[in-house]
Structure 1
Amino acid sequence: MDYVRLGRTEAMVSVAGLGCGGHSRLGMAGSASSAEASRIVAKALDLGVTFLDTARSYGTEEAVSLGIRGHDRGKLFISTKSWTGTDLSNRNPDPLPVTDFVANLETSLRALGTDYVDLWHLHGVAPFQLEHVYNELLPEMHRQRDLGKIRFIGITEAFREDLRHEVLQQALPTGLFDVAMVGFNMINPGARRRLFPLAIEHDVGTLIMFAVRRALNSRENAAEAVGRLIELGEVDPALVDPADPLGFLAAHPAIKSQVEAAYRFCRYEPGAHVVLTGTGKEAHLEENVQSILAPPLPAETSERLARIFGQATSISGE
């Protein structure tokens, strides 16, 4: 495993982070129990992963607790989150009361079986929620930090809706956040221009989500997604084979697959620190971690991707 400084937190964490949400939720989106899901956590630790990302809404905090038993808590970096609105969609205009916000943290601590979390995120913040965040929730986060219940303060964007990173572009320059979770991938690299320069300037640690979602997990899905970008005028059809627009990746002798290329693309982006990956299968996790640890993409491949997708910002890759 390789380790990286997570911005101004000064923490050294694994470049591969276990994402305990997403479509799989460690297998719990299907039929896996917390005990079964905990084996994915344990496997991640065996692979050298030290960064574990979960959330109240994922329902996987207990699985994390079970998976880390017997491990040195001080060597792990555990991240969890709370919504800022009053429902799980986080799109309710009613702001989450501070008392409920704190209750979410206490529930997370109990579920995780720990007396502190390394990173507490405001989860999927929308632009209209920023005023409540600044005026009500951040002061409480500072209080919880002073109490020793959290070490660092984070913010995650709602990437499916906020495709151009409006919230994080406003939040990062304030200096109020230690870490940000950013949507970034081969077919929406907009954070390269809009966000990573800010993260570098303000020494904010970054967690990369959406590195590989539905649009990049198969040839057919990639063709569908790129076709949409062509329709939107963000990709020049002359630059791709519409039937297999990313076929040139796996055709390269130094690249194993489209998915491997997608993880390598994110891993070596300047300003990116931890690349999150999630699954309910141990073998799949090991494969993804190996992809994240592979060398940078060949220069000619990176340049070709930039020519094709450099202006693409209209889909998340979901």
Structure 2
Amino acid sequence: MEYVRLGRTEAMVSVAGLGCGGHSRLGMAGGASSEEASRIVAKALDLGVNFLDTARSYGTEEAVGLGIRGHDRSKLFLSTKSWTGTDLSNRNPDPLPVADFVANLETSLRTLGTDYVDLWHLHGVAPFQLEHVYNDLLPEMHRQRDLGKIRFIGITEAFREDLRHETLQQALPTGEFDVAMVGFNMINPGARKTVFPLAIEHDVGTLIMFAVRRALNSAENAAEAVAQLIELGEVDPALVDPADPLGFLAAHPQIKSQVEAAYRFCRYEPGAHVVLTGTGNEAHLEENIASILAPPLPSETSERLARIFGQATSISGE
């Protein structure tokens, strides 16, 4: 495993982080129990992962708590989150009362089996929610930090809806956030221009989500996504084979697969620190971590991707 400084937190964290949400939720979305899901956590730790990301709404905090039992807590970096709205979908515009916000943290601590988390995120914050964040929730986060229940403050964007990163563009310059979770991948690299320069300027740690979602997990899905980008006018059809627009990746002798390329693309982006990967299968986890630890993409491949997708910002890759 390789480790990297997570911005101004000064924490040394694994470049591969275990994402405990997403479609899989450590296999629990497919019916796995917390005990079964905890084996994925334990496997990640065995592979050198020390960054674990979960959330109140994922339903995986118990699995994480079970998976870290017996491990030196001081060597782990635990990240969890709370919505800022009044329901678990966070689509309700009503602001979450501070008392409920604190209750979420207390529940997370109890479920994880720890007396502190290293990173507490505001989860999926939309631009319209920032006023509530600044006026009501951040002061409470400062208080919880002073109490020793959290070490650092994070913010995650609602990437499916906020495809051009408006929340993070507003939030990072405030200096309030130690870490940000950002959506970034080969077919929506917009954060390269809008988020990573700010993160570097303000020494904010970054966590990469959406590195590989549905659009990049197969050639067929990639073709569907690229067709959508062509229709939107964000990809020049002359630059791709519409039937297999990313076929040139796996065809390269130094690239094993489209998925491997997608992880390598994110891993070496300037300003990126931790690439999150999630699964309910131990072999799949090993494969994904190996992809993240592979060398940078060949320069000609990176340049070709930039030519094709440099203007693409309209889909998340979900």
TM-score range, shorter chain: over 0.9
Q: CA deviation at 1:112?
A: 0.1
What is the CA deviation profile of residues 7-26 of structure 1, one whole-angstrom value per residue up to 9, with x for unaligned ones?
A: 00000000000000000000
What is the CA deviation profile of residues 164-186 of structure 1, one whole-angstrom value per residue up to 9, with x for unaligned ones?
A: 00000000000000000000000
Q: CA deviation at 1:288?
A: 0.1
What is the CA deviation profile of residues 236-275 of structure 1, one whole-angstrom value per residue up to 9, with x for unaligned ones?
A: 0000000000000000000000000000000000000000
SS of equivalent residue, structure 1 residue 302: helix
Instruction: Confirm or deny that 1:73 pairs with 2:76.
Output: no
Q: CA deviation at 1:92?
A: 0.8
- Separation in 2, partners of 1:91, 1:22: 17
What is the CA deviation profile of residues 112-160 of structure 1, one whole-angstrom value per residue up to 9, with x for unaligned ones?
A: 0000000000000011100000000000000000000000000000000
SS of equivalent residue, structure 1 residue 25: coil
Q: CA deviation at 1:88?
A: 1.1
- Separation in 2, partners of 1:261, 1:46: 24
- Separation in 2, partners of 1:46, 1:265: 25
What is the CA deviation profile of residues 31-65 of structure 1, one whole-angstrom value per residue up to 9, with x for unaligned ones?
A: 10000000000000000000000000000000000
5+ long unaligned stretches in structure 1: none
Q: CA deviation at 1:91?
A: 1.5
What is the CA deviation profile of residues 292-318 of structure 1, one whole-angstrom value per residue up to 9, with x for unaligned ones?
A: 000000000000000000000000000
- Separation in 1, partners of 2:296, 2:307: 18
- Separation in 1, partners of 2:212, 2:234: 20
SS of equivalent residue, structure 2 residue 198: helix
Q: CA deviation at 1:78?
A: 0.2
Partner of residue 225, structure 2? 225
- Separation in 2, partners of 1:98, 1:285: 37
Partner of residue 54, structure 1? 54
Q: CA deviation at 1:89?
A: 1.3
SS of equivalent residue, structure 1 residue 26: coil
SS of equivalent residue, structure 1 residue 177: coil
- Separation in 1, partners of 2:203, 2:247: 36
- Separation in 2, partners of 1:21, 1:90: 15
Give the TM-score normalised by the residue count of structure 2.
Answer: 1.00
- Separation in 2, partners of 1:11, 1:162: 28
SS of equivalent residue, structure 2 residue 81: strand
Write the mapping of 1:1-318 to structure 2, written as runs, cut at 5 A.
1-318=1-318
SS of equivalent residue, structure 2 residue 197: helix
- Separation in 2, partners of 1:31, 1:176: 38
- Separation in 2, partners of 1:295, 1:241: 26
- Separation in 2, partners of 1:65, 1:235: 44
- Separation in 1, partners of 2:195, 2:261: 22
Identity of aligned residues (%): 93
Give every structure 1 segment of 4 or more consecutive aligned residues whose post-TM-superposition deviation is greater than 2 Å.
Answer: none
- Separation in 1, partners of 2:111, 2:243: 46
What is the CA deviation profile of residues 76-135 of structure 1, one whole-angstrom value per residue up to 9, with x for unaligned ones?
A: 000000000001111111100000000000000000000000000000001110000000
5+ long unaligned stretches in structure 2: none
CA-based RMSD:
0.3
SS of equivalent residue, structure 2 residue 259: helix
SS of equivalent residue, structure 1 residue 296: coil
- Separation in 2, partners of 1:149, 1:303: 44
SS of equivalent residue, structure 1 residue 119: strand
- Separation in 2, partners of 1:267, 1:23: 21
SS of equivalent residue, structure 1 residue 154: strand
- Separation in 2, partners of 1:95, 1:84: 6
- Separation in 1, partners of 2:223, 2:257: 15
- Separation in 2, partners of 1:44, 1:128: 36
- Separation in 2, partners of 1:69, 1:47: 16
